[in-house]
Amino acid sequence: MCIFKATWRGFVPVLLAGLFGLPIAAASDMGVPVPPGKALIYVIQGETGNFTSVSVFIDGRNIGRVKANSYLAVAADPGMHQLSSAGVSTASIPISLDAGSRYYVSQRINAQSAPEFRLLSVSEGQQLLARTTSARDDVVVVGPGSPVRTPTAAPVSQSVTAPVSRPAPDSERSRPAGRDHVAVILKTGAYSLSNATQNVVSLDTTFKAPSSVLGGEVEYQFANGFAVGGELFGYKSSFTQTGGSSGTMTVSFVLLNAKKYFAVTRMLRPFVGVGVGRAGTGFSGSVTGSTTGSATKFMGGLELRFDNVGLYLELNSVGADTKDTAGQTVKVGGTGKFVGVSVHF
């Protein structure tokens, strides 16, 4: 295996071309020619799913590992080759190489933790490379022969004789699954109090099924499926007391949640999670005042993802005992069935 060291000189013309709208010179004019008798392949890694990095193979030979949003430059002999990778399963793409040409291949681990490949056009490959970093500062050389050591620099456009596959649709390129991102979840549903009958201010009090159940979350979702964020939800429940007096209790929860999403398929993502925080009440009618206390939440459900929008379903169990300054306790925990919409950025 032979190694080529990187140099900064090749970046200057590319930078000037980008700033002043000048055409980019061919690679042979940049001091970074394709090694004699070889072709160059840029393997550009996108999403890696639950993997920190993934291995790249040419004709079954391991040539290195790449992390998300990085690329590997490989010099190989002309002819037909198989470029492959592995997640929970393996996949490959055939590439016919011509000596002196450059090829750009995008690679990603999909929601099923399987690799996917796509051959890119020169312009698309250059645009994608501009948003990634090199996995190493040298070019991996495979095959017989020892090319003369040649400095490398940022890859620039050069004619490609290999067939160009159809570019991925915008929705696929923008899908945030498999990378760190922010999600907003809005939800509503039904909530049942665990203690519908309680003693409040020394009177038996019966709470009706809560109404106006609304909630929202903002969470940071990691590429490996874990998520952390904050949640605010609440409800209203009318009540009656011994003697016929009545009123309304308004309850609010503020929670810090941690979840784990499991990518069963590209669309289906079950999850489990836990939350901790505070609960507070406000009473009006025959009883006035407020109570506060700690709260815990256990949840599970699933999300159906459609690109940047999803359908969110959740079952939860909440525990919360609140008190006022006089020590009066009101239990506001219960179980909920929520449905909502998730938006991913």
CB 74 within 8 A of CB 68: no
Mean pLDDT of 127-133: 83
Strand partners, 343: 184, 309
Provide the pLDDT for residue 144.
61
Determine, yes or no, domain membership for 321.
Answer: yes
End-to-end CA distance of the chain: 42
pLDDT value of position 283: 92
Residues 330-341: tens digit of each pLDDT: 999 999 999 999
The enclosing domain of 267 has a CATH number of 2.40.160.20
What size, in residues, is the chain? 345
Does residue 5 lie in a domain region?
A: no
Enclosing domain of residue 71: 11-168
pLDDT greater at residue 42 or residue 179: 42
pLDDT at 77 over 60: yes
| DSSP per residue, 69-131 | TEEEEEEE-SEEEEEEEESSSEEEEEEEE-TT-EEEEEEEE-TTS-EEEEEEPHHHHHHHHTT
Decide which of 168, 198, 226 is a domain's last residue.
168
Q: Is the domain of 157 the same as that of 302?
A: no
Identify whether the C-beta of residue 50 lies closer than 8 Å to the C-beta of residue 225: yes
pLDDT for residue 64 is more than 90: no
Phi first, then psi: give them for residue 18, nearest 5 degrees. -65, -35
- For residues 189 and 234, state if they share a domain: yes
Residue 31 has pLDDT above 70, yes or no: no
Last residue of a domain, one of 109, 133, 168: 168
Same domain for 289 and 190: yes
Q: Given a cut of 90, is residue 49 above it in pLDDT?
A: no
CA distances to 65, 70, 122, 188 from 224, in Å: 18, 17, 31, 27
Question: What's the rounded mean pLDDT across residues 18-26?
Answer: 40
Q: Band of the pLDDT at 256, cuts 50, 70, 90?
A: very high
Q: Are residues 292 and 333 in the same domain?
A: yes
Classify residue 275 as exposed, middle or buried by CB count within 10 Å of its CB (0-12, 13-18, 19+): buried
pLDDT one-digit tens code per residue, 268-326: 889 999 999 999 999 999 889 999 999 999 999 999 988 789 999 999 999 999 999 88
Last residue of a domain, one of 146, 168, 190: 168
Which of 97-101, 132-136, 317-321, 331-335 is predicted least confidently? 132-136
Going by pLDDT thresholds of 50, 70 and 90, the confidence category of residue 238 is very high
Residues 84 and 119 in one domain: yes
Between 344 and 27, whose confidence is greater? 344
- Rounded Cα–Cα distance for residues 191 and 320 (Å): 14
- The 10s digit of each residue's pLDDT in 114-126 is 888 899 998 888 8
User: Number of structural domains, the chain?
Assistant: 2
Report yes or no on 176 lying in a domain. Answer: no
Pairwise CA distance, residues 208 & 196, whole Å: 7
Is the pLDDT reported for residue 23 higher than 60?
no
CB-hemisphere CA count at 13 Å for 276? 0
> 156-160, 215-219, 325-329 — which is least confidently predicted?
156-160
Residue 276: predicted pLDDT: 97
Residue predicted with more confidence, 10 or 140? 140
Q: Determine the pLDDT at residue 336.
A: 93
In a domain, 2, yes or no: no
Residue-wise DSSP of 18-65: HHHTPPPPPGGGTT-PPPTT-EEEEEEE---TT-SEEEEEETTEEEEE
Q: Say yes or no to pLDDT of 53 above 60.
A: yes
Summarised one tens digit per residue, pLDDT across range 204-228 is 999 998 888 999 999 999 988 899 9
